[in-house]
């Protein structure tokens, strides 16, 4: 928005605190290359537009705001003469993207001294070369430090997660190893029993029926129902009694295996009718080995599938094979994070998932959103001291998605609530927290996703709420930290 041009007086702009020590020649150059403009109430410039001018308030009232999701949130409102905003980083040239990092409007007719960004950059380098170098060092040093801190925080999180993932992988891997070792023994016994059966006085037809029964039994194992403890005990007794009545010496040992496989006395009657009563004792031993082999193979399959699921969850969490910015299902991200943190959550914290199935995909950086969930869940678990209820909820809030992490811990005192997002502030005991998790989470949510991160807390109910816009385009670059642009 352009204002109404007015005469520029070197004497007047020399009274502004930014310029009060400049020489008459320098003030003359500013007036020659800059201008004074009067703006009526309304917008002056908008966030994200090319930063072409540096504005200094002469008189009036100015409001600075930042875009958060679909809304503009007021950051500063002041009538202080001499405050400045606009092309604050013009002196950095093309090393940073030159856009307005906030929006500015005036609430009453206001006069500004307006300096083109090129002139602002030139006078900074010519008149204040040492100050320019110092500012450049501070700017890029701050950016590097923030990146380093973020990487360190991610490494700490990954270190904790790797320990949890190792624990989670160990259980199915150990089960698969044990089942494989046992399977080798059972296969050896099956070969031995097969040799005994082959040496016995069985006809070719009886052997064929026995092999057919073996195949149908293996198929039945794959469809075995899940029985309750009482029902399983009753079936074991019935199977053992049937086999004892038919001369099976190992009836008590075979009964639990057959029960687990879903066999019942009706099935054993069919086996007896197929192979003949005199073959039943040997047939039961052969079938027990068959069933146990199938059960062991099922255990190996389940264990390896569990390992595969954990690896997929780890890939989902780290997003190693995904584009950096894309529409994501936040429920998948939350599930992968909860799985990665399951060892830390422990057995005494109840995890409740309240997901909105109709929530559409959210555009964003999935790996960094996972870092946000990790920080929030980790804080919630720590706050509860190992026992309580962790509730993870998703919902739609107008044109935004809501992700809420809720815990039943003691809560955050009101006097500390405003400080939890400050860098290096932590309520955890010394040595247990860096104080950077929530600061980094806020930067990811607000700066990179144009969302909001809010906290509500009373004893027994603390909620961290992340609001993310449901529509967004991939940015040209990741935006930097929020600068203070008004003195």
Whole-number average pLDDT of the chain? 79
Whole-number pLDDT of residue 280: 81
Confidence of residue 351 (pLDDT cuts 50, 70, 90): very high
Q: pLDDT tens digit string along 112-123?
A: 999 999 998 888
The region of weakest confidence among 85-89, 349-353, 379-383, 430-434 is 430-434
**Domain 325-469 in the same topology as domain 4-127:** no
Confidence of residue 43 (pLDDT cuts 50, 70, 90): very high
Best-predicted range by mean pLDDT (361-365, 366-370, 474-478, 480-484): 361-365
pLDDT at 296 over 50: yes
% of the chain exceeding 70 in pLDDT: 75
Confidence of residue 225 (pLDDT cuts 50, 70, 90): confident
d(Cα 466, Cα 406) in Å, to the nearest integer? 11
Of 49 and 315, the one with more pLDDT: 49
Q: Which residues 6+ apart lie within 8 Å of 294 measured at CB?
A: 218, 221, 222, 261
Q: pLDDT tens digit string along 136-177?
A: 665 566 566 566 655 665 655 556 566 556 656 666 777 777
CATH of range 325-469; options 3.10.400.10, 3.40.720.10, 3.30.565.10, 3.30.70.100: 3.30.565.10
Whole-number pLDDT of residue 137: 64
Q: pLDDT tens digit string along 101-110?
A: 889 999 999 9
For residues 136 and 91, the answer to whether their CB atoms sit within 8 Å is yes
Q: What number is the average pLDDT over the span 215-229? A: 76
Best-predicted range by mean pLDDT (68-77, 204-213, 376-385, 427-436): 376-385
pLDDT at 398 over 50: yes
Domain 4-127 has CATH 3.40.50.10210: no
Sequence spans of domains, the chain: 4-127, 166-309, 325-469
Whole-number pLDDT of residue 61: 94
Q: What number is the average pLDDT over the span 457-477? A: 81
pLDDT at 447 over 50: yes
pTM of the model: 0.47
Whole-number pLDDT of residue 483: 31
The region of weakest confidence among 241-255, 285-299, 432-446 is 432-446
For residues 483 and 476, the answer to whether their CB atoms sit within 8 Å is no
pLDDT at 476 over 50: no
Q: pLDDT tens digit string along 61-75?
A: 999 888 765 567 787
Whole-number pLDDT of residue 59: 94
d(Cα 409, Cα 457) in Å, to the nearest integer? 10
Whole-number pLDDT of residue 144: 64
Q: Which residues 6+ apart lie within 8 Å of 441 measured at CB?
A: 371, 372, 375, 376, 453
Whole-number pLDDT of residue 486: 34
For residues 65 and 485, the answer to whether their CB atoms sit within 8 Å is no
% of the chain exceeding 90 in pLDDT: 28
Whole-number pLDDT of residue 313: 59
d(Cα 416, Cα 435) in Å, to the nearest integer? 13
The region of weakest confidence among 18-22, 34-38, 92-96, 154-158 is 154-158
Whole-number pLDDT of residue 198: 59
Q: To 10 degrees, what angle do helices 129-199 and 204-222 make?
A: 150
Whole-number pLDDT of residue 434: 47
Whole-number pLDDT of residue 71: 67
d(Cα 338, Cα 345) in Å, to the nearest integer? 8
Q: What number is the average pLDDT over the span 45-51? A: 90
Q: What number is the average pLDDT over the span 5-34? A: 91
């Amino acid at each position: 928005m352009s204002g109404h041009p007015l005469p520029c007086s070197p004497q007047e702009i020399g009274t502004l605190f930014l310029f009060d020590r400049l020489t008459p020649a320098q003030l003359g150059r500013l007036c020659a290359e800059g201008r004074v403009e009067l703006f009526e109430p309304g917008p002056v410039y908008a966030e994200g537009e090319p930063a072409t001018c540096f504005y200094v308030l002469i008189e009036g009232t100015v409001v600075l705001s930042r875009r958060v999701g679909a809304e503009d949130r007021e950051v500063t409102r002041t009538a202080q003469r001499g405050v400045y905003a606009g092309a604050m980083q013009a002196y950095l040239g093309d090393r940073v993207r030159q856009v307005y990092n906030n929006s500015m409007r005036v609430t009453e007719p206001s006069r500004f001294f307006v300096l083109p960004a090129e002139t602002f950059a030139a006078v900074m380098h010519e008149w204040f070369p040492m100050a320019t170098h110092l500012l450049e060092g501070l700017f890029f040093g701050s950016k590097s430090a923030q990146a380093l801190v973020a990487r360190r925080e991610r490494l700490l999180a990954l270190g904790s997660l790797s320990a949890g993932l190792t624990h989670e992988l160990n259980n199915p891997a150990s089960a698969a190893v044990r089942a494989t070792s046992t399977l080798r023994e059972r296969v050896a016994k099956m070969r031995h029993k097969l040799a005994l059966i082959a040496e016995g006085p069985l006809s070719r037809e009886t052997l064929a029926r026995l092999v057919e029964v073996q195949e149908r039994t293996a198929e039945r194992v794959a469809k075995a129902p899940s029985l309750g403890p009482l029902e399983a005990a009753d079936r074991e007794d019935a199977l053992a009694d049937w086999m004892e009545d038919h001369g099976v010496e190992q009836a008590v040992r075979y009964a639990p295996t057959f029960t687990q496989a879903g066999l019942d006395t009706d099935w054993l009657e069919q086996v007896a009718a197929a192979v003949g009563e005199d073959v039943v004792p040997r047939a039961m031993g052969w079938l027990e080995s068959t069933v146990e082999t199938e059960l062991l193979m099922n255990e190996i399959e389940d264990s390896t599938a569990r390992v595969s699921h954990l690896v997929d969850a780890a890939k989902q969490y780290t997003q190693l094979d995904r584009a950096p910015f894309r529409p994501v299902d936040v429920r998948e991200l939350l599930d992968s994070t909860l799985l990665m943190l399951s060892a830390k959550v422990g057995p005494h914290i109840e995890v409740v998932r309240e997901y909105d199935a109709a929530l559409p995909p959210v555009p964003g950086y999935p790996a960094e959103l996972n870092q946000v969930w990790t920080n929030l869940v980790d804080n919630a678990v720590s706050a509860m001291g190992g026992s309580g209820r962790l509730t993870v909820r998703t919902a739609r809030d107008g044109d935004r998605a809501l992700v809420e992490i809720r815990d039943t811990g003691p809560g955050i005192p009101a006097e500390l609530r405003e400080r939890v997002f400050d860098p290096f502030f932590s309520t955890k005991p010394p040595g247990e927290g860096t104080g950077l998790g929530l600061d980094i989470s806020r930067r990811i949510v607000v700066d990179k996703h144009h969302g909001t991160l809010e906290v509500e807390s009373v004893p027994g109910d603390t909620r961290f709420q992340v609001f993310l816009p449901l529509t967004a385009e991939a940015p040209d670059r990741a935006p930097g930290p929020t600068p203070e642009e008004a003195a």
